[in-house]
């Protein structure tokens, strides 16, 4: 699970900040993963916005995230009302037979994307950062 907050920096974030503004996991996270990777300012960095680490998104990085989230929204809006997303594999062997798929509700996904876009816009307007806290 990846929880999103607004704060000055990841170092100044603490659990007393309150409830997360958004939590992503399962199919929603894995649908957005490719867009998170494309938003990273470090090419080939698959650790950007992953559910196992904490990430601070500020400045130009917010712009890149917003651009990719708009692409994700366009992609999701062309999908059926609910659709499957590859979330991993069962066991250690990666094959078609071991793929693990999760059903995603398009309307819920679009709400999550809109909330991330609102967070990014609010962060830019207030000079804060979007903070993503992984498990």
**Residue positions counted in the chain:** 135
Burial readout 96-108 (b: 16 or more C-beta within 10 A, e: otherwise): eeeeeebebebee
How many domains does one find in the chain? Answer: 1
Contacts of 112 (CB under 8 A, 6+ apart): 22, 24, 28, 32
* Structure-token pair, residue 54: 């904490």
* Report field, pTM of the whole predicted structure over 0.95: no
Position 125 confidence tier, pLDDT thresholds 50, 70, 90: very high
Give tens-digit pLDDT for 108-117: 999 999 999 9
Q: Which residue has the tokens 């816009």?
A: 121
31: closest CA among 86, 80, 79, 110? 86
Give tens-digit pLDDT for 2-22: 999 998 877 777 766 678 999
Quote the domain boundaries for residue 130: 2-134
């Amino acid at each position: 699970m990846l929880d999103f907050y607004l704060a000055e920096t990841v170092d100044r974030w603490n659990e007393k900040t309150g409830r997360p503004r958004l939590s992503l996991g399962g199919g929603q996270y894995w649908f957005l993963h490719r867009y998170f990777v494309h938003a990273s300012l470090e090419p080939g960095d698959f650790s950007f916005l992953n559910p196992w680490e904490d990430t601070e998104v500020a400045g130009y990085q917010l712009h890149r995230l917003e651009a990719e989230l708009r692409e994700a929204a366009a992609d999701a809006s062309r999908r059926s009302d609910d659709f499957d997303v590859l979330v991993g594999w069962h066991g250690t062997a990666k094959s078609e037979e071991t793929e693990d798929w999760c059903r995603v509700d398009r309307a819920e996904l679009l709400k999550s994307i809109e909330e991330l876009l609102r967070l990014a816009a609010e962060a830019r307007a207030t000079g804060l950062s979007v903070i993503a806290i992984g498990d």
